């Protein structure tokens, strides 16, 4: 018969897998909406759902620690689950923020899609890999995610520098694209946090100060 702790740990894992799948789909929906200039109401619903799941993960983690006083690998897993859960929730929150850009600025289809296309593609890949790395406890995949972060960071910084040098700017496009790139940069950061958490679960290695920034 499975231990009560094992059952609770399985519940914790299942919640995180649900969050990972939902958060990935939510960001994709938001970016599709941005590209098409349409509104996806399910993004807001999914973002709310992810917050509730994050709360459930926190409750289970606290209960596991209080009731069973786990040590070693079990404690690492529970601790990392809180970071991973928050990361998946933040994916959904930034997807919601992308939809708010659409609601604020209206139809943005006349803006150049190439501005955010590369960063969006790379960020989507990082999200997918972060979910996969957690599901499979894949350290090498997690390390791959960390190396991808610079691309998204650079896309945001380079665009800001370009705007500062430009003499003629479409304000609506410039502001909306800056916001979208910033949200993508933050999503990528959370993918790195999740990757570090996977490494911590498997190897017990704490992220460096640079990885936390």
Domains of the chain: 4-212 (1.20.58.220)
How does DSSP classify residue 205?
P
Residues 6 or more apart whose Cβ sits within 8 Å of residue 127 = 23, 24, 27, 91, 187, 191
10-residue stretch averages of pLDDT, the chain, 213 residues long? 83 97 96 85 94 98 95 95 98 96 89 91 97 98 97 96 91 95 98 98 80 50
Evaluate whether 57 touches 107 at the Cβ level (below 8 Å): no
Residue 72 region, left (φ>0) first, then alpha (ψ -120 to 50), else beta?
left
Distance CA 76, CA 186 (A): 25
Between CA 82 and CA 94 the distance in angstroms is 18
Q: Which run of H or E residues covers position 184?
A: helix 171-203
pTM: 0.93
Q: How far apart are CA 129 and CA 134, in angstroms?
A: 8
């Amino acid at each position: 018969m499975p231990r009560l702790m094992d059952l609770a740990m399985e519940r914790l894992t299942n919640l995180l897998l649900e969050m990972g799948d939902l958060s990935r789909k939510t960001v994709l929906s938001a970016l599709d909406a941005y590209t098409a200039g349409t509104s996806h109401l399910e993004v807001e619903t999914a973002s709310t759902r992810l917050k509730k799941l994050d709360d459930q993960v926190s409750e289970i983690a606290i209960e596991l620690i209080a009731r069973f006083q786990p040590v070693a690998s079990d404690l690492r897993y529970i601790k990392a689950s809180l970071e991973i859960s928050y990361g998946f929730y933040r994916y959904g929150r930034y997807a919601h923020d992308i939809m708010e850009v659409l609601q604020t600025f209206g139809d943005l289809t006349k803006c150049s899609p190439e501005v955010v296309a590369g960063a969006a593609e790379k960020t989507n890949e990082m999200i997918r890999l972060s979910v996969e790395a957690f599901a499979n406890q894949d350290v090498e995949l997690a390390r791959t995610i960390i190396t991808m972060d610079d691309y998204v960071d650079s896309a945001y910084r380079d665009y800001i520098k370009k705007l500062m040098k430009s003499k003629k700017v479409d304000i609506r496009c410039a502001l909306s694209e800056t916001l979208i790139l910033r949200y993508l940069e933050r999503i990528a950061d959370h993918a790195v946090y999740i990757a570090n958490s996977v490494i911590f679960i498997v190897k017990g290695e704490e992220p460096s100060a640079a990885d936390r920034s």
